[in-house]
Amino acid sequence: MSGVDLLIVGTQGPGGIGQYITEQRRHLDGEIDFSIQQIGDFSTAGVLAFLRSVLLILGNALAFTRRSPPDVLHVHSSYRFSFYRAGFYVLFATHVWNRPVVLHIHGSSFDEFVRTAPLPVRWYQSIVFDAAAEILVLSAGWKDVVALRADREKITTLPNAVDADDYGSAFEGGVPHVAFVSTLSERKGVPELLAAAEELLDSGMEFRLSIAGKGTFSPRVEAFAAAHGDVEYLGFVSEAEKQELLGAASIFVLPSHAEGLPIALLEAMAAGNAVVSTTAGAIPEVVDEGGLLVAPGDATELAAALAELIDDPERAAAMGRHNRRLAGERYAWSTATAALLDTYEHHAERSRAIAH
């Protein structure tokens, strides 16, 4: 086991960062001594819930200042308010504790957050990035974005990861099964998905569509499923239920308008799904011959791409096999864990030098 004392800082629970930290903990267990510092998140479930969440966020920050400094911190951040909160931990650890911070950038709209930020926010972004010892981003494209505010030399690309052993393909042929697993929002392309599905169903094309997730479009998706016998709405699903759904599917669809590198995409690839998605974010860097990509927001293109794979199940199956191999080789958690351990050890040398 490594002798590094690591502190992981982030928001646990549902969402991309929470899911990443859960898997990070699982794969670092036994490899390094670590503890977790919860940041907390704002609640929008009424005024009292919001006030309680603010007090929790402040309480977490106060508790953080009173703990013993670790050797290295790994701070996870998304965009906007997530970044504003995470920035406090980066700045305190760097300037008060004099400890190295690895800042890990997530979030589907972080590129927009950087490019469209007003002057005060750009200033804050710059000082937080400057304070971090290293910045982890999900793709080469995002490295270019973050380099608008940070020294490119300390930006490292580390893709999201998946444990392919957690997924298996149970689809045995027959009627093609299309699955969507994500937040039910406009940003995830739900309006285009429903429009494309309706076009294909009206044309008499035979396939099943399973939609899992919750969000602002939940009522509309539920009504759509009630009106179409070949469509099922599953609502929020657990990790086990998600694994079962993706294993039973043959095609994964994610028509996002904005993305980083979606973990759900890697999970679908690990389950042996062909992919129909968009050119948003890092998706084109991941999906090569394992799927079809369309322009974000184009329901007609989306319908055509889905029809192409529904009509050719052998091609979809070949794409799925390719994706499963790729997920197990290029995006394995074992690879990510090794890279993270090397990163922590590298920065821990600074802490040891300071201590002596």
Q: Do the beta carbons of residue 87 and residue 113 sit within 8 Å?
A: no
The string of pLDDT tens digits covering residues 231-274 is 999 999 999 999 999 999 999 999 999 888 899 999 999 999 99
For residue 354, is pLDDT > 70? no
> What confidence tier does 120 reach under pLDDT thresholds 50, 70, 90?
very high
The verdict on 241 and 133 lying in the same domain is no
Confidence of residue 51 (pLDDT cuts 50, 70, 90): confident
- Lowest mean pLDDT, pick from 25-29, 30-34, 313-317, 348-352: 348-352
- How much of the chain exceeds pLDDT 70, in percent? 97
Nearest to 35 by CA among 80, 68, 83, 1: 68
Number of domains in the chain: 2
pLDDT band for 355, please (50, 70, 90 cuts): low
Q: What is the mean pLDDT of residues 141-162?
A: 95
199 and 133 inside one domain:
no
- Examine the domain organization and report whether 246 and 281 are in the same domain: yes
Q: Is the domain of 264 the same as that of 323?
A: yes
> With bands split at pLDDT 50, 70 and 90, how would you rate the model's confidence at 356?
low
- Residue 6 reports pLDDT greater than 60: yes
User: Do 64 and 122 belong together in one domain?
Assistant: yes
- Give the mean pLDDT of 132-147: 94
Kindly report the CATH number assigned to the domain that includes residue 241: 3.40.50.2000
Residues 298, 351: one domain? no
Same domain, 228 and 265: yes
Residue 68, number of CB atoms within 10 A of its CB? 7
* Angle between helical axes of 299-310 and 190-202 (0-180°, round to 10): 50
The answer to whether the Cα torsion of 92, 63, 344, 140 is positive or negative is: negative
Note the pLDDT of residue 40.
83
Reported confidence tier of residue 52, pLDDT bands at 50, 70, 90: confident
- Closest to 41 in 3D by CA, of 83, 8, 6: 83
Residue-wise pLDDT for 79-102, tens only, equals 989 999 999 999 999 999 999 999
Residues 39 and 119 in one domain: yes
**Mean pLDDT, the chain, integer:** 93
| Structural domain of 320 | 164-329
Q: Which residues pair with 232 in a beta bridge?
A: 210
Residues 315 and 277 reside in one and the same domain: yes
Q: What is the pLDDT of residue 280?
A: 92
- Asked whether residue 1 carries a pLDDT value surpassing 60, the answer given is no
145 confidence band (pLDDT: 50, 70, 90): very high
